[in-house]
Amino acid sequence: AVVSTQSTGIDLAENEDADVNVVVKGDTLLDQAAQVREDIDKACAGQKIDALYCVAGGWAGGNASNPDFVKNCDLMMKQSIWTSVISANVAAHHLNEGGLLTLAGATPCLEGTSFMMGYGLSKAAVHQLTKSLSTGDTGLPKGACVQCILPVTLDTPMNRKFMADADFSTWTTLPYIAEMFTKWTEEPSSRFPNGSLVKIITKDNKTTESVV
C-alpha cells in the first residue's frame, strides 16, 4: 500500500524495504481481515492510500485425483483469494478517490487448468472479483480503478530455482511490473479501463500488455 511517498508492507513477515509493516496473523480469513484492517487503521492514521498492490500468491499443481488435491486447493485459496478479498476490503475503507487497486491473476487460468486445478480456480476467482469491483455499487471510493494483471511466468528467484531449464526470455521481470504499477499510480490516464484483466506476455525479453 502507498500513502503519498510512504509504503506499507502487508505480509506474513516484515519487508525491510517498507516504511511500515503489517504482519498478518490469524488462521481464518475473518481473523486475518480484522487484524489487517486494525493495523492499517493505525498505520494510515487518518490518511488515505494512493494505491494498493496485491501481489500475493503461490503455485501448486495437481488434478482431482492427486493425493494433495484438496490440500493444494486450500493453500491456493488462502494465497490468492484470501489476500485479494482482504485487499479489496482495505481499499474500500482506505483508498483515495481515484486511487488504484491491483490484483494478481494469471493468463493460463483464463482456460481450464487440469494440471493445476487449485491454482486455476483461485486465479479465476480473482478475475471474477476484479469484474465485481468495477461494476455497479462496488463499495470502493469514487473513481477508484481496479486492474488485474495476468502474467504467464514472473522472473522470481523461486521460479528460477524450480524451473532452472526454462526459457527465461519469456518470463516477465519484477522491475517491469513495478514500473507499470508506478506509472498507473502516478499517471491515471495510463491505466486500462476499470476492471480490466491485463494480459502480460513476454517474448524474447520484450513485454507487451493487452486487455483480455
Which residues are known catalytic residues?
119
As a whole number of angstroms, the distance between CA 33 and CA 38 comes to 9
Maximum Cα interatomic distance, the chain, rounded to a whole number of Å: 50
- Grid cell listed for 23: 504482519
Assigned C-alpha cell, 72: 493444494
Are the CB atoms for 97 and 143 separated by under 8 Å?
A: yes
Per-residue 3-state assignment (H helix, E strand, C coil) for the chain: CEECCEEEEEECCCCCCCCEEEECCCCCHHHHHHHHHHHHHHHHCCCCEEEEECCCCCCCCECCCCCCHHHHHHHHHHHHHHHHHHHHHHHHHHEEEEEEEEEECCHHHHCCCCCEHHHHHHHHHHHHHHHHCCCCCCCCCCCCEEEEEEECCEECHHHHHHCCCCCHHHCEEHHHHHHHHHHHHHCHHHCCCCCEEEEEEEECCEEEEEEC
